[in-house]
Structure formats: structure tokens, C-alpha cells
Amino acid sequence: DTAVSQTPKYLVTQMGNDKSIKCEQNLGHDTMYWYKQDSKKFLKIMFSYNNKELIINETVPNRFSPKSPDKAHLNLHINSLELGDSAVYFCASSLYGQGNTGELFFGEGSRLTVL
């Protein structure tokens, strides 16, 4: 059983399109994250949800909208895709607050290519 699973793994699309990436975790964690990793492997946090509530919202364009229907799912919707959105997007989960030992569990990533 995959602990954190994201779909799709690869996404190739045209500029201006809208796309979504889905993430699910079966670890019973209450906190989920979206990270963006650029071509130089630099990792940047985008959003964090705790039990369906947004707790981190970094400086990310409004075109990016996370949605958490329940604490096991965190989806990412991107409107009006731009070339600069090309990256690998990682979903991750962890426990929250003092229960957070710093161990995040990552999905395998979704590679988005915008043409």
C-alpha cells in the first residue's frame, strides 16, 4: 500500500489550460503539504493543511488553489498555466504540532510540463 499517492505522475499541457493534481495519504496524518521542486531541485513549500484547514499559504499566485475535502486528501488545482509552472509537485503528510517529529512522508511527485 502506497502511503502517499499522487496522480497523475506526468502531466503535459499547453499554456493557459487548467489542471489538477490529486493526493491521498493512508497514514492517518492530520497535516498535508504541497511542495514545488524546480529544475535545480530547490524545494519550496506552497501550502499546508491541518485537518482540512489551511495553515500555510506561501507567496503563491492565486492561480494555485488547494482543496482538502477531508484530512486524507489534498488536491491542487492550477488555473491558466504558465511556462514557469513547469516543475515537479510533491505532496507530503505528517503529524501536526508537537506530534510532528519532522518526518514528512512524500509522494513520488507529479511532473508538470507546460508547453
Partner 1 sequence: GNSVTQMEGPVTLSEEAFLTINCTYTATGYPSLFWYVQYPGEGLQLLLKATKADDKGSNKGFEATYRKETTSFHLEKGSVQVSDSAVYFCALSEMDSNYQLIWGAGTKLIIKP
Q: Which residues of this chain interact with partner 1, rule CB under 8 A?
A: 4, 40-43, 45, 48, 56, 90, 92, 97-98, 100-109
The smaller minimum CB distance to partner 1, of residues 41 and 62, is found at 41
Rounded least distance, CB 106 to partner 1, Å: 3
Rounded least distance, CB 33 to partner 1, Å: 9
The smaller minimum CB distance to partner 1, of residues 13 and 100, is found at 100
Rounded least distance, CB 80 to partner 1, Å: 27
Q: Which helix (H) or strand (E) is 111 found in, with range? A: strand 110-114
d(CA 87, CA 83): 10
What own/partner pairs with CB < 8 Å and gap ≥ 24 does 62-70 have?
66/34, 68/32
The smaller minimum CB distance to partner 1, of residues 45 and 60, is found at 45
Quote the Cα angle for 6-62-89, to 5°: 25
Task: Please name the residues in contact with 96: beta carbons below 8 A apart, sequence gap of 6 or more.
Answer: 29, 30, 31, 50, 51
The smaller minimum CB distance to partner 1, of residues 1 and 41, is found at 41
Rounded least distance, CB 15 to partner 1, Å: 26
